Amino acid sequence: MLNNIQWIEDRICIALRANESQRPFLFVVEWLFHGIPWIGGSILLAVFAISGRWPIEEQDWIVLLNIGLVLDLIFCGVVKVCVQRPRPLHNRDDFRYGAPIADRFSFPSGHTTRAAMLARFLERTVEMTPLWNNGMWLLVGIVALSRISMGRHHPSDVLAGVVIGILEAELTLQIPPRLRRTDTWVRTMTRNLVLLFFLIGLCPHQTAAWGYEEDDGPSNWDGKCREGQNQSPIDIRAADVEYAPLHRLHFVHYDNRGLITLANNGHTISGSGFNTWEAKQPYVMSGGLKHKYKLEQFHLHWADSDDRGSEHTIGGLHYPAELHLVHHREDLSFAEAVNTPGGLAVVAVFVTIGEETRPLESVVGSMKEVIHSGNRSDIHGFHTRRMLPGHIESFYRYDGSLTTPGCFETVVWTILSDPVSITRRQMDELRRIRSQEGDPYKYNYRPVQRLNGRKILYRPSQFDKAIFCGNSAATSTVLTSVLLYLVSRYF
């Protein structure tokens, strides 16, 4: 039942998703009903009213408005931390302000509760013409729709937000007159804020919906992450690999350069913005893929030591890091692709430590600006091809899932045989990146999952074809990959 409701909500989110031309307007709406300007502005107004000795009725009205806004802050904060519903998967995480811990969760929509609370409060306390009253509720509807269109919230989050906001206004208006007096205003505000932190402390909660710590790490991920049968990453072992006469994978427009945004989302660092390159947007095709897949973003996985860090392993051995280039079918939006079998194509590139600086040079150069969760930095003239190894002919292929919640089994995985190399200094810079908890990562990779009968295909290079044939090619190649790993790791 819940899965069906979630599926319906995902369809609604996809249908209402804003395009690039609409997002600037929606950012304005987002800011207009953000808590910072409303609570900060109302407090300043209250101080001005009291110090200016406004009529007592006006002072009481402003104080009551303050109480309502703080009540909204308390209630939304407590519910978000207790429910801990993740933001929609297609949320681009492009907030223009730093979000507190509670604001990383989705239920309910704080913007919508605030808008509905203000509308109901004004409706009950200010005489307005029907035109103004209807216009005010129309604005509430615009705020609610904007939260879905921006990818910030699920439809049920905003519906609940409207109901909660109306109830908050009614509760605020029931506050006895003596508590509205200015001589008790400071005490009321202080008590409300103390109550907020006390109630949040009572909730059994994590610092985020998911992460890589003991209490929110992979062993605690639910849904498909726990129940799925085609999960990723996997360990690539010789016995599970089959030779496959696949065509070469083509990386088209990967030599183009353009603007991307590097961001620390609290789980990893990612580069996005390739969709703004329009006709020059990189994509992959052929190599056994049934569709053309456009590059959406890239991100990295690593750990605090060289003997682990990659998500996929070769014969049980980790590389120090792993780069994921995430593509979606060209005929689908990213949100649609996530929910469509074969909708995503992820190219994984192992990262080893050596003398080469070019693969992640521009990324590492901006890392100092994205050390902390929520930080962002633009990179101009980004060259995508540099992130790939020199030889891209040989690769492994299997069907799997996303390696982060909700672990949707809609990914065609391509794992390049050859790694890229970065320097020790660059690896150290990567390990300085801090998680949402504020500390450098111990690790941010998911452990390998059961293969459950899946076969791993191997597409050899021309050199491999000349030497090996049949399944022995795959076996020998895996063994060669292990030897290459050992050489790069210890020599």
Residue 59 pLDDT level (bands cut at 50, 70, 90): confident
Residue 288 pLDDT level (bands cut at 50, 70, 90): very high
pLDDT at site 480: 53
- Longest Cα pair distance anywhere in the chain, in angstroms? 93
Q: Is the pLDDT of residue 474 over 70?
A: no
- Reported as a single tens digit per residue, the pLDDT across 202-224 is 554 444 468 898 888 999 998 89
* 433 C-beta neighbours (distance < 10 Å), count: 21
Query: How many Å separate Cα 356 from the centre of its chain?
Result: 30
**Could you state, in order of their start, the residue ranges of all structural domains in the chain?**
2-202, 226-490
Q: Percentage of the chain with pLDDT > 70?
A: 82
- Reported as a single tens digit per residue, the pLDDT across 122-156 is 999 988 899 998 999 999 999 999 988 888 888 99
> Rounded to an integer, what distance in angstroms lies between the CA atom of residue 153 and that of residue 407?
19
- The catalytic site residues sit at 267, 299, 301, 311, 324, 403
Residue 469 pLDDT level (bands cut at 50, 70, 90): very low
Q: Percentage of the chain with pLDDT > 90?
A: 48
Check: CB of residue 422 under 8 Å from CB of residue 482: no
Are both 2-202 and 226-490 of the same fold?
no
pTM recorded for the entire structure: 0.63
CATH architecture designation of domain 2-202: Up-down Bundle (1.20)
Token couple for 9 = 């909500």
Check: CB of residue 228 under 8 Å from CB of residue 424: no
Over residues 90-98, the mean pLDDT reads: 50
Q: Is the pLDDT of residue 325 over 90?
A: yes
Token couple for 134 = 């209807």
Check: CB of residue 277 under 8 Å from CB of residue 284: no
> Rounded to an integer, what distance in angstroms lies between the CA atom of residue 242 and that of residue 349?
20
Q: Decide if domain 226-490 falls under CATH 3.20.20.70.
A: no
Query: What average pLDDT does the chain have?
Result: 83
Distances (CA, A) of 91 to 46, 88, 115, 132, 144: 36, 5, 21, 33, 15
Q: Which is more confident, 486 or 413?
A: 413
> Rounded to an integer, what distance in angstroms lies between the CA atom of residue 212 and that of residue 307?
18
Listed range (111-125, 180-194, 259-273, 374-388) with the worst mean pLDDT? 180-194
pLDDT at site 231: 98
Residue showing tokens 């604001």: 103
Q: Count of H helices and E strands in the chain?
A: 15, 15
- Reported as a single tens digit per residue, the pLDDT across 356-406 is 777 788 888 888 889 988 788 899 999 999 999 999 999 999 999 999 998
User: Helix (H, G, I), strand (E, B), or coil: what is residue 451?
Assistant: coil
Over residues 402-430, the mean pLDDT reads: 94
